[in-house]
């Protein structure tokens, strides 16, 4: 029950981090440049006009296949793994906070050039 409450709180707090309408439009335009087909074993084959399109498609296919791992890696990188995994991960979170500054990462992301 405790884990469920923490997840609900995390989800509600995440709504403040929603993507801007410009980001959504840009992602939709990029998605139109990507084709993902799956073979009989479910393996994705990604095609795009540019390398950036292909990487976008690859990440999209990975999110379809294994979003839980992506989410756990994100929480770990932000030093917030204990919110989902419990108190046993507090020391890992503290260690990540020593090495990673989320505000610095967000600032660097905003300064990253956009390639389409």
Q: Each residue of 33-78: pLDDT tens digit? A: 999 999 999 999 999 989 989 999 998 999 999 999 999 988 888 8
In a domain, 116, yes or no: no
More confident residue, 5 or 10: 10
Looking at residue 65, its pLDDT comes to 92
In a domain, 86, yes or no: yes
In a domain, 23, yes or no: yes
CA distance 68 to 28: 23
How many structural domains comprise the chain?
A: 1
- Identify the domain containing residue 106 by its residue range: 2-111
Looking at residue 16, its pLDDT comes to 45
Choose among 63, 26, 67: nearest CA to 46. Answer: 63
Phi, psi angles (nearest 5°) of residue 80 = -130, 25
Q: What is the pLDDT of residues 9-27, one digit of tens each?
A: 554 445 445 677 888 888 8
CA distance 92 to 79: 7
Q: With 0.95 as the threshold, say if the pTM is over it.
A: no
Residues 48, 52, 57, 62, CA torsion sign: positive
Domain harbouring 69, CATH code? 1.10.439.10
In a domain, 47, yes or no: yes
In a domain, 69, yes or no: yes
């Amino acid at each position: 029950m405790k884990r469920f409450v923490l997840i609900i709180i995390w989800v509600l707090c995440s709504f403040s981090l929603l993507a801007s309408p410009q980001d959504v439009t840009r992602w939709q335009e990029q998605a139109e440049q990507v084709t993902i087909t799956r073979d009989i074993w479910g393996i994705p084959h990604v095609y795009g006009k540019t390398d950036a399109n292909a990487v976008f498609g690859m990440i999209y296919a990975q999110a379809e296949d294994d979003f839980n791992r992506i989410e756990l890696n994100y929480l770990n990188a932000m030093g917030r793994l204990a919110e989902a995994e419990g108190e046993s991960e507090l020391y890992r979170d503290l260690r990540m906070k020593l090495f990673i500054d989320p505000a610095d990462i967000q600032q660097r992301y905003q300064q990253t050039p956009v390639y389409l």
